[in-house]
Each structure stands twice: as structure tokens, then as C-alpha cells.
Amino acid sequence: VRIGTPIGQLIDAAGGLPDDTQKIVSGGPMMGKAVVSTDIPTTKGCSGILLIQNREAERKEMSPCIRCAKCVAVCPMGLEPNLLAKLSDFADWEKSEKEHVMDCIECGSCSYTCPAHRPLLDFIRLGKNKVGNIIRNRSVKK
């Protein structure tokens, strides 16, 4: 499709929005981002549009980390997603930067493999946002 085509137009061309759709994701199932409106245009990096049903979109209840290290084993960047999520949860941005939170490619593998249903990627994205702002402010002051 042409860049800039509204997502809603693509959904209509594919048969319309099913009644039981709870979430619309722009991009793939792992790295895609949920969109709030079908009026959003497609972009160069948009690889697809996912319509997720109610039963599939609901998150399972998060439980405490059981230290299984599945997230660590699956991380393509060699990071410790469980640690980065914990640091973000406790707003320890300095340590998050030292633990290379900015190296995360946001693939979502850690959240997908977590048996405790922890939203690790959500915590890491928050950490990347905060640490990124700190880094930018540091370079502006110089």
C-alpha cells in the first residue's frame, strides 16, 4: 500500500473490522505497537496490521518473577530484561543506563517467554524513555 494510507481504509478493504476486535496493532506480533485510532496513516516501517480478538488481547495476571532466566536466555542483545524491568519499576535510571537499557531492540521476546506473565517490555520501554531523556539533557547542558 502507499505510505500514508489510513489503517481504517486497509481494514475496510480486507472485509471490515470484526465485532470482537479488542486491539489493533501496527506492525508485527512481537514488535508492533497498539494504535488508538484507525485514522492513523501507514508508515514506511509498517509491516502489517493485526486485529486481535478479545480473548487473545487480554493480559494474564502478572505474578512475581520466579528467576527462571528465560528472558535472559532469549534476549538477542544479551541483556537481563528482568533486571532492567526491576530497575525501571524502582525508577533507578542511573543503574538502568549502566545496565545498557538503551541497547534493547524492543523485540518482545522477553515478555513472550515469561512464565510469570510480566510485561517486561513495557517496563523496559519506560526505562528507555526516561534514560534517553536524561542522556539528551546531559548533552544539551554541555
Domains: count for the chain: 2
The answer to whether the CB of 103 falls within 8 A of the CB of 80 is: no
pTM above 0.85, yes or no: no
H-run or E-run covering 101: none
Distance, CA of 101 to CA of 84 (rounded, Å): 7
Biggest CA pair distance of the chain: 54
pLDDT at position 87 is 97
Residues in contact with 126: Cβ distance below 8 Å, sequence separation at least 6, in sequence order: 88
- Domain ends where: 18, 33, 57? 57
Sign of CA dihedral 52, 63, 123, 103: negative
Q: What value does the mean pLDDT take over residues 5-10? A: 93
The reply to whether 106 and 45 lie within a common domain is: no
Return the pLDDT at 123: 96
Judgement on whether residues 82 and 134 belong to the same structural domain of the protein:
yes
The reply to whether 83 and 133 lie within a common domain is yes
Domain that holds residue 26: 7-57
> Across the strands, what pairs with 51?
24
Under DSSP, is residue 53 helix (H, G, I), strand (E, B) or coil? strand
Tell me the mean pLDDT in the region 101-115. 94
Residue 22's pLDDT band (cuts 50, 70, 90):
confident
